[in-house]
Amino acid sequence: MRLQYPTNIRIIRTPCTGKLEVEYFMRAFENGADGVLVAGCEEGSCHFIEGNFMAKRRVNYARGILAEAGFEEERLRMINIGAADARRFVEAVTDMIETVRKLGPNPVRTARPNTARKQEIHT
Amino acid sequence: MIVAERKRIPELVDILQGYKKILVLGCGTCVTVCLAGGEREVSIISSALRISSTVKGLGLEIEELTIERQCDNVFIEAAADAIQRNDAVLSLGCGAGVQAIAERYTEKPVYAGLNTAFLGILEERGIWTEKCAACGDCVLHKFGGICPVTRCAKHMLNGPCGGSREERCEVRPDRPCAWQLIYQRLKSIGQLDRLNAIEPPKNWEPSLSGGCRGIVREDHRI
């Protein structure tokens, strides 16, 4: 199965979504990320028993604090997906890209000329 | 330990209005353990303040630092340089920590980033409950180690009140009846006869009746 997903995302691998901390999400947005999609294993199939549930709670907490800060919480989303479920992965990524596109660039990045320039060079 | 919880970001932004350079100062003791004001929370709150500042165009410059203990002069020293180079300090310590910093740096505005809630313990992951009211005249030995002053919603010393339902408090149904706990505990340690004693009115003098309290240990004074 050869499926194409949007090329404007960066995959960051972690041993388990339970490894993710709230500050990772905060720093990602602070550093200019337009969106963060956390892809955890399906509920009930975590190798570490409850890593994906921990991630879910942390994502929800981070969304709350982002909303408090006046930042669009929709830029952070978690999905649960099997490692072999390529079709759903493509759909989820495409949907996330669409959400972010509607929201526009991260306001933190656009407000900081230096950061914005750095991003342009990378792309 | 002292248990606290963070203030919401809009309130913090409001508190910090008028300042540009802010030091978010964490404390590595009680508030680290209750996940309110340690290094990790300093990082999260600082990020949120930076994001909020950029979104609203406030131009805040946030510096992060966590010291071992804010309520102790020996450790406060480690924050001296950072405090001096910022316009204001947002302390994520408990109320004692905030005041210790403010007393030490009289020229620097120091603000509380947390609401200090109570003296308590971690009941289970993510749940803290109050166990001690710091009343200054401990009666735990009479009640099997369960404090009726703190844990009975009516602070009854000669309970139970008779209103509990299925071992739950009638004021706070999500809490167990303290007097039910006292009964079970005294029974299990073979001291049920303690319940026959009438407890006289409590001496509240060592509590907050005369303003803030202090302890002097002559043997430790220089």
Q: Is B9 on the interface with A (CB under 8 A)?
A: yes
B118-173 residue pLDDT tens: 999 999 999 999 999 999 999 999 999 999 999 999 999 999 999 999 999 999 99
Query: What percentage of chain B exceeds 70 in pLDDT?
Result: 100
Q: Is B50 on the interface with A (CB under 8 A)?
A: yes
Contacts of A21 in chain B (CB under 8 A): 40
Contacts of B50 in chain A (CB under 8 A): 30, 108
Nearest CA in chain B to A33: B51
Residue A116 has a pLDDT of 45
Give me the residue from B8, B43, B54 closest to A68, CB to CB.
Answer: B8
Question: How distant is the alpha carbon of residue B50 from its chain centre?
Answer: 27
Query: What percentage of chain A exceeds 90 in pLDDT?
Result: 83
Residue B71 distance to chain A (closest CA, Å): 26
On average, the pLDDT of chain B sits at 96
Task: Determine whether the interchain pair B52/A70 forms a contact, defined as Cβ–Cβ distance below 8 Å.
Answer: yes
Domain chopping of chain B, boundaries: 2-118, 135-209
A96-123 residue pLDDT tens: 999 999 999 999 988 876 544 454 444 4
Retrieve residue B174's tokens.
């999500």
B22-42 residue pLDDT tens: 999 999 999 999 999 999 999
On average, the pLDDT of chain A sits at 91
User: Could you report the predicted ipTM of this complex, rounded to two decimals?
Assistant: 0.89
Q: Is A113 on the interface with B (CB under 8 A)?
A: no
B75-108 residue pLDDT tens: 999 999 999 999 999 999 999 999 999 999 999 9
**Confidence band (pLDDT; 50, 70, 90) for A74?**
very high
Residue B193 has a pLDDT of 96
pTM above 0.95, yes or no: no
Contacts of B52 in chain A (CB under 8 A): 68-71
Q: CA-CA distance, A87 to A82, in Å (whole number)?
A: 10
Domain at B2-118, CATH class: alpha beta
